[in-house]
Structure 1
Amino acid sequence: MNVRLQDERWVRRRGVAVRGQAFDGADLLEAPAIAERFARALEDGAGRNQDADAHLEAVAACADSLEGFFAAVVGLDADSTYLVADGARSIPLWYDAAGSVVSDRGWIARDAVDAPRDPIAEREFLLTRYVTGPDTIWQDVFAVQPGEVVRLGSNDADEAPGVTDNGDRTITRHTYREYWPAAETPTDEDEDKCSGDQPEIPLARLEAGLRTALDRLEVVAGDRPVVLPLSGGYDSRLLAAALVERGRDVIGFTFGRSGHPDVEVSRAVAAELGIRWEFYPYSRATWREGYHGEAGRHYREWAFGGDALPFLAEWPAVRGLLEDDRLPEDALYCPGHTVATPSERLPRFAGEPQFDIDWATVGCGPAVDADERGTADEALETVDPTLEALVEYVLETHYVLWDLDDVANVSTSDGGSIQDAFRERIRRGLLGDRSPAAVWDPATAAAAYERWEWRGRMSTFTNGDCRVYEDAGLEWWLPLWDPAYVRAWEAVPLAFRRGKGLHADLATATYWRVAGITHDRAAVTDRTLDPADRLISVVRHTPVQQFLERGGDWEPPFLAPRERWREPGSHPLAWHGIVDDAILEAAPSNRNLYALRTLARVEGVDLGDPSWLADMGREWFDRSSLE
């Protein structure tokens, strides 16, 4: 087995390599202690039974007993090697189909086996910016999935069947930690206690889960300050308010264009909580210089594992604030990504009671997905609570960066259509090991959809945000993906989970209590901030800084409405500066930056250099890369 782990934070003990930290109850285990746990587990499995199943079950049980953010390679020198990912897949691992190479860099596995491209996974990446399931855009290169143990072992007759890749090796995948939220039918007593405007039981559970998550965060942080990327949404607000209430030293930072509601709400939240706040303004020049400079090129190549675009939103801000000594290097950085996010994009299900969506809770945050669905003037789609209806909803909602019709006539190697191949991938992501009969009503349909996002989108693209902090040499933690909070959210009934409503209620109540402001003010997000309020904030909070952050310009700040954010020059992150003007002019106006980045990644062209346009022209954007 060729194990090629590049990050210097991997610790090797007794044939086990571990990165990260995890809790066993209240006890924090560092990487050496985790490695010792896995080594003992493997020995215990061997002592009980020489069967490979016993070894796999022992490793999986050990992984399931640990709560935190870690990855492990167990059995470095043994015939069988076990790859372990935590429930958020916060530290990715990749391997090849022959079970011959393992790495924490997808491209190393690709190069080791000289892997060609996988046409189906590559097209899924083009349409979504990530690849669902264990696949990558390279054939026979796979990623360990969240909450999964992968066994790479010799193909002995006594072993349980896995994915047999050749006559000598098998790959066996085992999910030890699932996510299937609140799909059980509640009892009458539960219904009574969780109905109306008083969701007492689920809220109490959610508060308890948050307390455990924050207790753990404080242990990890020790005496260090906690730095939060502070957005205009509820997630980072919840963390900031709860940590201030605990007396922690909290620093918030925000990025984008002055006057954008995300920036102005963040500015107000920091001021009302009394925490230090740093703002890093973005412009076209910021992106042009950073993205195409040596550091930007290195980050994009280093962070690309073949299954998701590297996360970019706060990359320039983190680097710039550190270089200016405005953020400490020895702090604990805590992005607000949360298990509640998949609940934002749930459709209405036929047969559900009538309800209104609070659009203030949907899609709020640092404008990363600002031009996607989820605006107040959109009617929420209603779908049947069936597996096939859910498959179509996912296909029509997420496979949208390019026209799905452009790949409709592409055939797979077995003669089927590529859209049918996508549908089969979606089914696997919705169900896992469950039967199709597991989806039969609104509660189970919602659970399946949220499972798909957990495994498909969150654990690849969104949680890939951790690479931004690693690239800067910083330590990170994901408190709202702590298993205690995940379990608490998983138990929330659909009615209170939809639109991540109960999560938003907890954030509002915590912020209101700590900041001492009105409840209405505590509930304001980037989605609901009035345009006049955005202008008033010029003088309400840090007026001198407002003046300086726009280079002394007292003109009204960024006020472009959401419906214009697709237009180059009008996005609140100004990140169209990545793309040369000639390329922007040639590109279809309805294609956002994610679409251009996926196409550039697949085709290997430079978005800052338009010289290739002379040969390819506008048609390059239309069909050539998708057919």
Structure 2
Amino acid sequence: MNVRLRDEGWVRRCGVAVRGQAFDGADLLEMPAIAERFARALEGETSQNQDGDARLEAVAACADSLEGFFAAVVDLDADPTYLVADGARSIPLWYDAAGSVVSDRGWAVRDAVDAPRDPVAECEFLLTRYVTGPDTIWRDVFAVQPGEVVRLESRDVDGASGDTGDGDRAVTRHTYREYWPAAETPTAEDECLGDQLEIHLARLEAGLQTALDRLEAVAGDRPVVLPLSGGYDSRLLAAALVERGREAIGFTFGRSGHPDVEVSREVAAELGIRWEFYPYSRELWREWYHGEDGRRYREWAFGGDALPFLAEWPAVRGLLEDGRLPDDALYCPGHTVATPSERLPRFVGEPPYAPDRRAVGCGPAVDADERTSANEALETIDPTLEALVEYVLETHYVLWDLDDVANVPTDDGGSVRDAFRECIRRGLLGDRDPETISDPATAAAAYERWEWRGRMSTFTNGDCRVYEDAGLEWWLPLWDPAYVRAWEAVPLAFRRGKGLHADLATAIYWRVAGIAHDRAAVTDRTLEPEDRLLSLVRHTPIRQFTERGGDWAPPFLAPREQWREPGSHPLAWHGIVDDAGLEAVPSSRNLYALRTLARVEGVDLGDPSWLADVGEQWFEESSLSSDSRS
């Protein structure tokens, strides 16, 4: 077995390599203890006297007993070898189809086996900015999935069940931790509906408190640094930590006047925590993205299954270099298991009282505000497998026109659209029968499972690479299994739109900050325009003549509907793209689309010739047809 673990944080003991930390109940286990736990799982009754399935089950049971953020390569010098990912796949591992190479860098596996590109996975990446399932854009290079153990072993003469690809080893995948939030939903006639809401809110807060207990155990005496946005997730963490008396530091980035910045500024001021702001501009983005450090980070962080997270990368580096953030703190992004509930459709047969909380968060792959008004009714679909498949296609496969990839050939002679549909079906169901999806609750569970495995664990949780690149330690408290289980038990009526999660964030912020409840619920999506003008004067007046160069008005006051226009994005990150090319690109192609194009086509978005290099047909009808891509 060729094991290529590049990160220096791996610890090897007893034939096991481990990165990360985990809890056994209330006990925090460091890496040597985790390694010893896996080694013991294969000793005694699970050694030579047991068949391969028993050994696989022993590794899976050990992984399931641990709660935290970790990855492991078990029996790395033996046959078989087991690869383990936690429930969030926070620390990725990749391997090849022959089971001969393992690495914590997808590109290291690609280089080792000289893997060619996979046109179908590449098309999915272009349309979504990630690849769902275990595939990558490189043929026969795979990623361990969240909550999964992968066994790599010598292939028997007759082969083995679960084999993938060709080679002299067999690959078996086993999911030990699932996510299927299908709690029974109270009916509209239930006289105790309000009581049910309070009961589930209390249970969710109990899950949060367990997650925070663990966060504090990991942090020790160190401060906790939060990328503080204008939404509910980071606000929930900030307020809950202040309530516990913890030292919390918030930071945000972008352009002064952006609703995200101004709500973050207000939350930090009301909670009385230190707040750092890092301004962005088109000129600085051009310098950051195309500089040596930017190029290195994008190559290092790309594993073949998700576009590297970029938004806070310059802010983290810049604030550290300026000495405005500590390098010995614990960094806690607010990514949460509740996010998939934001993008749920409405289902036929769903009780009419279910609240529409569409405006709480980030929306679909193309921002919700770019597709529809936040106040517009959600799409209603049948609670069936095929209706969900089409909904996922129409909601997430949108960076480029789906029809444009229809003619790209697949290995079996079928269409890319059909290949996407089949991949989505697997992501929705797992090992379940299609008939499992039979009502709104199970349809919602299937959709949220798809996002958990297909989007959150690849693209969103890839944000951790930003902190690793800066040499920082991170933790994901709102992906802690205790909070995941609590959210999983919330009925659809209270889960929809991330509603109960938002209620919890509002409630804790309100009782800690002591402000009006309506004000505690304000987010970047509901902030009034006049608040954006007055925010700096209200909350950080000393910065008026430094942050805005002495100007009274903030530099960014563009309404949300104009953010797609070149130069009007609140992060200013269109500065990445050469001016001439930016003028030629229609506003329907956002920066994510251009970045996936640059990755696949190998072009430099800052080079004036980049548009000619890929051909203007990319921005016309049938731009991704097989003819134009050949």
Q: What TM-score does the superposition give when structure 1 sets the normalisation length?
A: 0.96
* Structure 1: distance between partners of 2:409 and 2:108: 30
CA deviations on 1:523-567 (whole Å, 9 max, x unpaired) are 000011100111111311112213311222223441111111111
1:78-157 superposed matches below 5 A: 78-156=78-156
Note the C-alpha offset of 1:368: 9.8
* Structure 1: distance between partners of 2:158 and 2:68: 34
Distance 1:368 1:265, change over 3 A: farther
Note the C-alpha offset of 1:413: 2.2
Note the C-alpha offset of 1:324: 0.3
Does the CA-based 8 Å contact 2:407-2:625 persist in structure 1? no
* Structure 2: distance between partners of 1:500 and 1:616: 40
Counterpart residue number, 1:436: 434
* Structure 1: distance between partners of 2:270 and 2:611: 50
Distance 1:544 1:451, change over 3 A: same
Task: Give unmatched runs, 5+ long, in structure 2.
Answer: none
Is 1:472 the counterpart of 2:470? The answer is yes
Note the C-alpha offset of 1:306: 0.2
Note the C-alpha offset of 1:379: 2.8
Counterpart residue number, 1:230: 228
Note the C-alpha offset of 1:29: 0.4
* Structure 1: distance between partners of 2:94 and 2:192: 43
1:418-433 superposed matches below 5 A: 418-433=416-431
* Structure 1: distance between partners of 2:599 and 2:5: 24
* Structure 1: distance between partners of 2:98 and 2:62: 26
Note the C-alpha offset of 1:144: 0.2
Is 1:487 the counterpart of 2:485? The answer is yes
CA deviations on 1:400-425 (whole Å, 9 max, x unpaired) are 00011111233322121110110000
CA RMSD across the alignment: 2.0
* Structure 2: distance between partners of 1:557 and 1:614: 33
* Structure 2: distance between partners of 1:211 and 1:193: 29
Does the CA-based 8 Å contact 1:147-1:177 persist in structure 2? yes
Distance 1:543 1:564, change over 3 A: same
Distance 1:260 1:515, change over 3 A: same
Decide which of 238, 242, 245 is 1:244's aligned counterpart: 242
Matched positions, count: 624
Task: Give unmatched runs, 5+ long, in structure 1.
Answer: none
Distance 1:512 1:583, change over 3 A: same
* Structure 2: distance between partners of 1:86 and 1:131: 19
Q: Please tell me the residue identity of whatever aligns with 1:34.
A: I
Note the C-alpha offset of 1:583: 1.1
Q: Please tell me the residue identity of whatever aligns with 2:357.
A: D
CA deviations on 1:449-480 (whole Å, 9 max, x unpaired) are 00000000000000000000000000000000
Counterpart residue number, 1:566: 564
Distance 1:193 1:255, change over 3 A: farther
Distance 1:531 1:364, change over 3 A: farther
Note the C-alpha offset of 1:204: 1.7
Counterpart residue number, 2:457: 459
Does the CA-based 8 Å contact 1:56-1:151 persist in structure 2? yes
Helix, strand or coil at the partner of 1:342: helix
* Structure 2: distance between partners of 1:145 and 1:338: 17
* Structure 2: distance between partners of 1:364 and 1:507: 18
Distance 1:119 1:410, change over 3 A: same
1:380-529 superposed matches below 5 A: 380-529=378-527
Counterpart residue number, 2:38: 38
Decide which of 197, 200, 206 is 1:199's aligned counterpart: 197
More displaced 10-residue stretch of structure 1: 505-514 or 546-555? 546-555
Is 1:358 the counterpart of 2:382? The answer is no
Does the CA-based 8 Å contact 1:123-1:626 persist in structure 2? no
Q: Please tell me the residue identity of whatever aligns with 1:533.
A: D
Counterpart residue number, 2:12: 12
Note the C-alpha offset of 1:151: 0.3
CA deviations on 1:195-225 (whole Å, 9 max, x unpaired) are 2475122112101100100000000000000
Helix, strand or coil at the partner of 1:610: coil
* Structure 2: distance between partners of 1:368 and 1:376: 13
Helix, strand or coil at the partner of 1:209: helix
Q: Please tell me the residue identity of whatever aligns with 2:18.
A: V
Note the C-alpha offset of 1:610: 1.8
1:290-301 superposed matches below 5 A: 290-301=288-299
* Structure 2: distance between partners of 1:304 and 1:626: 26
Does the CA-based 8 Å contact 1:52-1:159 persist in structure 2? no
Helix, strand or coil at the partner of 1:448: helix
More displaced 10-residue stretch of structure 1: 541-550 or 484-493? 541-550
Distance 1:172 1:390, change over 3 A: same
Note the C-alpha offset of 1:160: 5.9
Counterpart residue number, 1:600: 598
Decide which of 280, 285, 294 is 2:278's aligned counterpart: 280
* Structure 2: distance between partners of 1:214 and 1:372: 35
Note the C-alpha offset of 1:193: 8.1
Does the CA-based 8 Å contact 2:74-2:83 persist in structure 1? yes
Counterpart residue number, 1:345: 343
Amino-acid identity (%) = 84
Q: Please tell me the residue identity of whatever aligns with 1:95.
A: Y
Distance 1:194 1:27, change over 3 A: farther
Distance 1:131 1:200, change over 3 A: same
Q: Please tell me the residue identity of whatever aligns with 1:546.
A: Q
Q: Please tell me the residue identity of whatever aligns with 1:335.
A: P
Counterpart residue number, 2:21: 21
